[in-house]
């Protein structure tokens, strides 16, 4: 009977170490405390200490995103669709667990943004919230009628003939003051 108790104690220490490693990975990717508390079984105080140790400051306070509207704007939709397609691949085709699929898909998204030179719009907390919106049947993936890519859409929207924001960007797309400043910085002035 004693060997089984020893195995149980070893298993809990190993599970605890695994939880700490997952917490470190999530914090480094930018997860908020609400994400850590939902996904991990570590005590809140311990996660706060980990956060403080890794980031050098207390975790940010405030509410998490609670509306699917953010994911529907044209550029955010492209970014969230890119992430969620990677998540689906990791989850279903690669056979990863939910948390592993989330972190790996987010890393793929970050790497894609870095190599494309694009601004990263989606943070880990928004990515996690998006996955939860899919789980709650608030949103769905809908195919674009032009490129056949799958994009995030409201669950009960009529999506026949939908054209994505990548195939048909809005008229003012990329014409923000931030984009104009970036273009001005790239183009040398002629004296």
Answer yes or no: is 159 a known binding residue: no
Answer yes or no: is 144 a known binding residue: yes
CB 19 within 8 A of CB 40: yes
Tokens of 48: 């706060």
CB 155 within 8 A of CB 139: yes
Sign of CA dihedral 74, 78, 83, 89: positive
Q: Which of 134, 122, 13, 35 is nearest to 76 (CA)?
A: 122
Answer yes or no: is 147 a known binding residue: yes
Any residues with CB less than 8 A from the CB of 91 and at least 6 apart, and which?
98, 101
Q: Binding site: what residues are annotated? A: 144, 147, 164, 167
Q: Binding site for Zn(2+): what residues are annotated? A: 144, 147, 164, 167
């Amino acid at each position: 009977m004693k060997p089984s108790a020893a195995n149980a104690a070893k298993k809990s220490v190993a599970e605890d170490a695994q939880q700490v490693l997952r917490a470190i990975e999530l914090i480094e990717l930018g997860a908020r405390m609400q994400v850590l508390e939902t996904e991990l079984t570590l005590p809140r105080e311990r996660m706060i200490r980990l956060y403080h140790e890794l980031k050098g400051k207390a975790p940010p306070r405030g509410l998490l995103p609670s509306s699917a509207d953010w994911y529907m704007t044209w550029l955010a939709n492209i970014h969230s669709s890119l992430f969620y397609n990677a998540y689906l691949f990791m989850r279903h085709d690669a056979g990863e667990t939910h948390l592993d699929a989330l972190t790996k898909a987010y890393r793929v998204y970050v790497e894609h943004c870095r190599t494309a030179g694009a601004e990263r719009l989606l943070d880990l907390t928004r990515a996690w919230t998006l996955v939860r919106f899919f789980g709650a049947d608030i949103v769905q993936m809908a195919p674009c009628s032009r490129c056949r890519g799958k994009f995030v859409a409201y669950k009960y929207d009529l999506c026949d003939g939908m054209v994505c924001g990548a195939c048909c960007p809005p008229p003012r797309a990329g014409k923000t003051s931030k984009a104009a400043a970036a273009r001005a910085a790239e183009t040398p002035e002629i004296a």
